[in-house]
C-alpha cells in the first residue's frame, strides 16, 4: 500500500521515466525534442488530441532514431509529460505518424498501431517489456 501511494505521487510529480518504441512513416535521421502544447477533445465518446497553442497544455516528447527500413523508421520515444495521445499527436505534428495510426495521419495499414511501451522507471525500480515481433522487425 505504501508503494502504491508513493508511485501515485511520483506520477503526479512527473518523477516517472517512460520509454516507448514505434515504427513511423518516413525517414527519421536525428534526435529531436518536440515541445508543442496539446488540447484534447471528446468526440462521440472518443478522445481526439491536437496541437493547440492557445488552449493546449504543455507537452514535451524526445524522439531518437533507431533503424531505417525503406520509407519507415523505428524510433525510441521518451515523454516528459503525459498528455492524452501525446506520442501520436507529436509524431504526426512533425510529419512522422505512427504506422497504422490512421486517426493521426498514417497512410500505411497495419493490424495495430505500431507503438510499444518499452520501459518505465520510478522510485528506484525499472521495468522493461519485451518488444513484440512486429516492433522488433517491420515487414
Dihedral pair phi/psi, residue 118, rounded to 5°: -90, -45
pLDDT tens by residue, the chain, 139 residues: 899 999 999 888 888 999 999 999 999 999 999 999 999 998 888 889 999 999 999 999 999 999 999 999 999 999 999 899 999 999 999 999 999 999 999 999 899 999 999 999 999 999 999 999 999 987 7
- What's the pTM? 0.90
Give the span between the Cα atoms of 99 and 65, in whole angstroms. 15
Compute the distance between CA of residue 46 and CA of residue 135 in angstroms, rounded to an integer.
Answer: 26
Domains in the chain with CATH codes = 16-136 (3.30.2350.10)
Check: CB of residue 116 under 8 Å from CB of residue 128: no
Amino acid at each position: 500500500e505504501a508503494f502504491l501511494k508513493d508511485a501515485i505521487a511520483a506520477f503526479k510529480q512527473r518523477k516517472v521515466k517512460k520509454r516507448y518504441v514505434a515504427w513511423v512513416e518516413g525517414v527519421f535521421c536525428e534526435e529531436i525534442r518536440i515541445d508543442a502544447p496539446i488540447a484534447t477533445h471528446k468526440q462521440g465518446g472518443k478522445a481526439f488530441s491536437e496541437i493547440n497553442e492557445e488552449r493546449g497544455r504543455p507537452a514535451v516528447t524526445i524522439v531518437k532514431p533507431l533503424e531505417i527500413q525503406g520509407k519507415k523508421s523505428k524510433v525510441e520515444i521518451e515523454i516528459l509529460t503525459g498528455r492524452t495521445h501525446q506520442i501520436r499527436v507529436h509524431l504526426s505534428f512533425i510529419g512522422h505518424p505512427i504506422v497504422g495510426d490512421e486517426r493521426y495521419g498514417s497512410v500505411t495499414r497495419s493490424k495495430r498501431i505500431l507503438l510499444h511501451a518499452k520501459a518505465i522507471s520510478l522510485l528506484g525500480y525499472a521495468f522493461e517489456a519485451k518488444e513484440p515481433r512486429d516492433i522488433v522487425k517491420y515487414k
